[in-house]
A and B are shown apart, each in its own frame.
Chain A
Amino acid sequence: MGIEMDPLLHAWSYFRRRKFHQCSDLCSQLLEKQPGDQESDSEFSVFQAAWCLKIRALTEMVYVDEIDVDQEGIAEMMLDENAIAQVARPGTSLKLPGTSQAGGPSQAVRPVTQTGRPITGFVRPSTQGGRPGTMEQAIRTPRTAHTARPMTSASGRYVRLGTASLLTNPDGPFLNVAKLNLNNYAQKPKLAKALFEYIFHHENDVKNAIDLAAYATQHAQFKDWWWKVQIGKCYYRLGLYREAETQFKSALKQQDMVDTILYLAKVYSRLDQPLTALNVFKQGLDRFSGEVSLLCGIARIYEEMNNISAAAEYYKDVLKQDNTHVEAIACIGSNHFYSDQPEIALRFYRRLLQMGVYNCQLFNNLALCCFYAQQYDMILSSFERALSLAENEEETADVWYNLGHVAVGIGDTSLAFQCFKLALTNNNDHAEAYNNLAVLEMQKGRIEQARLFLQTASSLAPHMYEPHFNIAVLSDKVGDLQRSYIAAQKSEAAFPEHVDTKQLITQLKQHFARL
């Protein structure tokens, strides 16, 4: 028998090594002993320490950074009572992506997401939602793009995660939060903080969390900035943005923290006041100069406002401070790719590879950059690797779709056919693949087949101009001018600056005038 480690220290060591399950099990064993037979005279008994450690371990298991988590459900998006103006002035809103000042490549080069924003080089939980303009668009989203997934309610994901963690514990949850006397716990600041994080992150019980925080901040005589930030977080989750703003501001007065600045800016961007959010970031930069998360926040807002060139500037600033920032590298890389500099984009993606990023998306991007930078030796092996690394069918579909482009580029039509078909086998809702198949079918002269594909594409993704425009061209060719005109108008709505659409419409108008 070797020397046994003190169980509490052992559990703590598990916690430090992020082995949370073992830590939690060991703490449970400690907690099963009677609390009475420990030394109960000290302020913190072993029992309390084990309890505290266990809830911290349980919290860490499901912890996600609250700053990054930002999901709007359909209800939050459509029934938004916080909008200041229904029709915002250009450049002051995140809702109108069309109000861009300048800079970015046009839609003819860079694909757009459902909401009409150019696709970004990096997805975060909050970029997934997007802000659809109409109810119809909002409901339609789940069938069109897996990158823009709405939820019926913002709390949906949290609740699902919560139920799962319940199921893993056969004897029910560790704590019954409803039965706790929160006021008692609030008297003990050290326990209260751990308990709060447990209730907030693990149980997702915002109501009880805010109760506890309110007691605790009262007990601290409103002098503890940490509790104010927590109350603000709760208000944010409850959708009370103005109240959250007050809490964050008050916390900032007491203690200047980067985190609080980020939360405050998040409130403003949820309130659709990007300019105020930018101001908050810039003021923060005065006090914390060169802070990466602030710079990155500014870049994200510019990107959401469709001001790509300004976003790129700030991403470059980020890289000056932290040259391993994946988000900045990915965004700059995709900017270069879509502004016709694939060689430079290739260097950025290669840098990511050197840094150890190893996934399907990266290899797919590398392959595309290689193809357009005419480094043909690397293309197919990169695509192969991307296919083998794909985690789900949507990713596989996207890789096959891009491979189809390479096939089109080298003129191998039958390979292109197969690639696009494979993309559709993997993801039946791949509108781009339908559109490209239609173009290939048209080249072979199969008009009806092409029309079918185009109609599918246009109903799957009404935000893309290509299928509408192609329907217009096709109908124009076969003499169906009325249908051509309708489709051309849809295409113009999706992409107002498209020259070919404009020409087609004027042609058709001349036709109609002559009749």
Chain B
Amino acid sequence: MPESKFREVLPKQGKLAVEDVTAMVLCKPKLLPLKSVTLEKLEKMQREAQETIRQQNQRT
């Protein structure tokens, strides 16, 4: 196939080149991890413990 069939296309106007600019980066979206049953129970017990201690302190 003769080469002349495909002409080289070079744009002469408009956006001719893109300069790679270092842009600032965003932190990524964060999927929140689910909590295990044990952890939830521990946290619940801790909350209750703090609550009882608070109530105890208020009474005295």
Contacts and interface: CB of A to CB of B under 8 A. Distances in A.
A470 B25 contact: yes
Interface of A: 62, 64-65, 68-69, 108-111, 119-125, 127-128, 147, 157, 160-161, 163-165, 167-168, 326-327, 330, 333-334, 337-338, 352, 357, 359-362, 364-365, 368, 372, 395, 398-399, 401-402, 405, 408, 431-432, 435-436, 438-439, 442, 464, 466, 469-470, 473-474, 476, 500, 503-504
Given A62-B45, A121-B33, A466-B26, A164 B38 contact: no
A398 B29 CA distance: 9
Contacts, number: 128
Contacts of B1: none
Interface stretch (B2-10, B11-19, B48-56): B48-56
A476 B23 CA distance: 11
A64 B42 contact: yes
A64 B36 CA distance: 12
B34 A123 contact: yes
A213 B34 CA distance: 36
By secondary structure, the A interface counts as helix
B27 A123 contact: no
A354 B29 CA distance: 24
Interface residues of B, number: 27
Contacts of A327: 34, 36
B24 A68 contact: no
Nearest to A395: B32
18 contacts: A111-B28, A122-B35, A123-B35, A123-B36, A125-B38, A147-B33, A161-B45, A359-B34, A364-B31, A395-B32, A401-B30, A402-B30, A436-B26, A436-B27, A439-B26, A466-B27, A474-B24, A476-B22
Contacts of B38: 64-65, 68-69, 124-125
A176 B36 CA distance: 33
A338 B30 CA distance: 10
Contacts of A337: 31
B46 A405 contact: no
A441 B5 CA distance: 53
Contacts of A401: 30
Nearest to B38: A68
A121 B35 CA distance: 9
Given A120-B33, A164-B48, 13 more contacts: A122-B35, A123-B36, A125-B36, A125-B39, A157-B42, A161-B49, A164-B49, A164-B50, A165-B49, A359-B35, A361-B32, A435-B26, A470-B24
B41 A119 contact: no
A361 B35 contact: yes
A202 to B, nearest CB: 12
A110 B28 contact: yes
B28 to A, nearest CB: 5
A442 B32 contact: no
Contacts of A164: 48-50, 52-53
A168 B22 CA distance: 60
Contacts of A399: 32
